[in-house]
Amino acid sequence: MDQPFLNRGTNFCDACTVRNRAICGDLDNEEIVALNAIGQRRQLAAGENLLWEGEEAVVVANVVEGLLKLSTSTAEGKEQILGLAFPADFIGRPFGHSTPYSVEALTDVLVCVFRRADFDRFARAHPNLEHKLLERTLTELDRTRKWMLLLGRMTAEQRVATFLLDLSSRVPAGEPGGMPVDAFELKLSRGQIADVLGLTIETVSRVFTKLKQAGVLSLPNRREVAIEDREALVRLAS
């Protein structure tokens, strides 16, 4: 499937805001130039799909800006959200021929896209990148297991608390390994959070109100969150 790309122009890796945190972070300058030569930047509007479940795996991508959801369809035809992709995350299936899930932009998104065949050849020729891909794969496996626990066993309050803690550790906040942020912009609406967590909008709103009244959170507006009592939020999540 053909994909509309932005013009490459100058070396966009030089100005990449997530380069140090992305899979290409361990590449040297010569390798970065070679990777840049096979990549393109692409913009997605909220609601636009990058990948479709079951279709040929044409592209893989690094997320530069924005938030995407990974989802699959159940036997009943319902959507099951598998997880979220944040800036610096890698999405797609290298070395595979079909896409196991759909990827849709939840916000406006900027991605660095590679045709899968080109990326596969590059990764095989650059062990540092292959090693980084393995690390990311294992990390995503751990996240998937955590997500299954969240959706299958946690209460509504535990789901929201876990979700907010995850967001606080993954929003752009400096170099990898830094401390989680306590105040951040909430990119998702209450309805989108409900879809992600398998809850109703009313339940999500009720939990936010309860956490605010308990002094665990403050909500300057519907798109901002400030964690006022992180220890209490951690206790609730666990």
Q: Which residues contact 26 (CB under 8 A, 6 or more apart)?
A: 128, 129, 131, 132
Share of the chain above pLDDT 90, in %: 29
**Strand pairing partners for 68?**
85, 105
| CA-closest candidate to residue 232, choices 164, 152, 151 | 164
In the DSSP assignment, the letter for residue 178 is: P
Summarised one tens digit per residue, pLDDT across range 191-227 is 888 888 888 999 999 999 999 999 999 988 878 899 9
Once rounded to an integer, what is the mean pLDDT over residues 44-66? 91
Q: What pTM did the predictor assign? A: 0.76
- Asked if pLDDT for residue 114 goes beyond 70, the answer is yes
pLDDT value of position 11: 60
Once rounded to an integer, what is the mean pLDDT over residues 9-38? 76
Q: Which residue type, as a one-letter code, is found at position 41?
A: R
Ordered domains of the chain (ranges, CATH)? 19-143 (2.60.120.10), 154-237 (1.10.10.10)
Q: In what order do the strands lie in the sheet with 183-185?
A: 183-185, 224-227, 217-221
Tell me which of 81 and 1 has the higher pLDDT.
Answer: 81
N- to C-terminal Cα separation, the chain: 43
Q: What is the mean pLDDT of the chain?
A: 82
pLDDT confidence of 43, banded at 50, 70, 90? Answer: very high
Q: What are phi and psi of 113, to 5 degrees?
A: -110, 140
Burial 36-60 (b: 16+ CB within 10 A, else e): beebbbbbbeeeeebbeeeeebbbb
- Asked if pLDDT for residue 10 goes beyond 50, the answer is no
Query: CA–CA separation, 55 vs 101, rounded Å?
Result: 9
